[in-house]
Amino acid sequence: MRVQLRSLAAQGLERALYLPMRLLPTAFAGATGRMLARHVAPGLYPALDARARANLALLRPDLPTDAAVAEMWENLACTFCEIPRILRFWKEGRVEVQGAGHILETRRHRAVMAAWLHTGNPEVLGMTLAWIGARPVGIAARQPTGLRDRVVMRNRLAVGGRVLLADRDAVRPALRVLAGREETLVLAMDDYVGGIVHGPSLGRRLRTTGNIPYAVRLARLTGCAIVPGYVTRLPGSRFRTTFLPPVELPPETGDRAADLAAGIAALDAVLDPIVRANLPQWFFTMAWGPDA
């Protein structure tokens, strides 16, 4: 019953805030998010707060836990409030880009898959790809509420992106995107399914299920480049989108299982440090489990 009441309260808050956040200045959205982070979110979700504290103590014992948890809630709440405003971010000069050439130059020679992580405001990454002309096509699950799903979908389409629903039927369209080389396939590496954050490993065993193995299989099959990308929240509702050099997968040996495992290890080795470095801004710090 408590879980249902929390869900209803969160959905009611979302509906109440949508129109004001859309109409008022971006700075107001950030201020509202910070207020929610300080006074609402931790009390509304005490179990998630406790898990985040445990995960931060385990994965980043060097960080002051209280400050890191406060940053996590602020990032989540601000992202929640920014969704109706995000289409204005580029024109308002709120997004800086590092490593755009890793996407744009690589696209000149081969298909590209942007392997992204849920850090900062994750929606900014797909928007950045659209804003720099990389034509994103995301493989994405539904948002947790109908209103958010409609708004997020509208935003993605408004900048010229496309979305493939994350199910078995997405495989063939994804292969067509990579074969055509006119668009950039966009796939989250930290997929959260059935209560489990599948990647990166963060000290757990490497998995052969989830989006990291899926990305490796697609790259082996099509020859596409895997370009990691992530977003960092900066002060004042500003963001930095970073793209890294393409991940070099080990040469194939003919042993499919061994080649898959080697590819997973290579990709995980790049993604794991990104999440650790940005743990207070990672969406799944409050959901990750060391034994899952």
| Lowest-pLDDT choice from 150-154, 184-188, 238-242 | 150-154
What confidence tier does 149 reach under pLDDT thresholds 50, 70, 90?
confident
Whichever domain contains 63, its CATH number is 3.40.1130
User: pLDDT digit string (tens) for 213-225?
Assistant: 999 999 999 999 9
Domain presence at residue 291: no
Domain presence at residue 286: no
The answer, yes or no, to whether residue 2 has pLDDT greater than 60, is no
Phi, psi dihedrals of residue 98, rounded to the nearest 5°: -115, 135
The answer, yes or no, to whether residue 74 has pLDDT greater than 60, is yes
Domain presence at residue 290: no
| Domain tally, the chain | 1
DSSP structure string for 184-210: EEEEESS-EETTEE----TTSPPPSSS
The answer, yes or no, to whether residue 270 has pLDDT greater than 70, is yes
What confidence tier does 148 reach under pLDDT thresholds 50, 70, 90?
confident
Helix (H, G, I), strand (E, B) or coil at 64: coil
Residue 240's domain comprises 2-281
What confidence score (pLDDT) does residue 9 get? Answer: 57
Domain presence at residue 289: no
What confidence score (pLDDT) does residue 141 get? Answer: 84
Domain presence at residue 249: yes
Domain presence at residue 120: yes
Domain presence at residue 292: no
Report the distance separating Cα 177 and Cα 260, nearest Å.
22
What are the C-alpha distances in Å from 237 to residues 61, 78, 156, 167?
A: 27, 8, 19, 33
Structure tokens that stand for 286 in this block = 């409050």
Domain presence at residue 214: yes
Paired with 163 in beta bridges are 138
Cβ-proximal residues to 179 (8 Å cutoff; 6+ apart), any chain: 111, 222
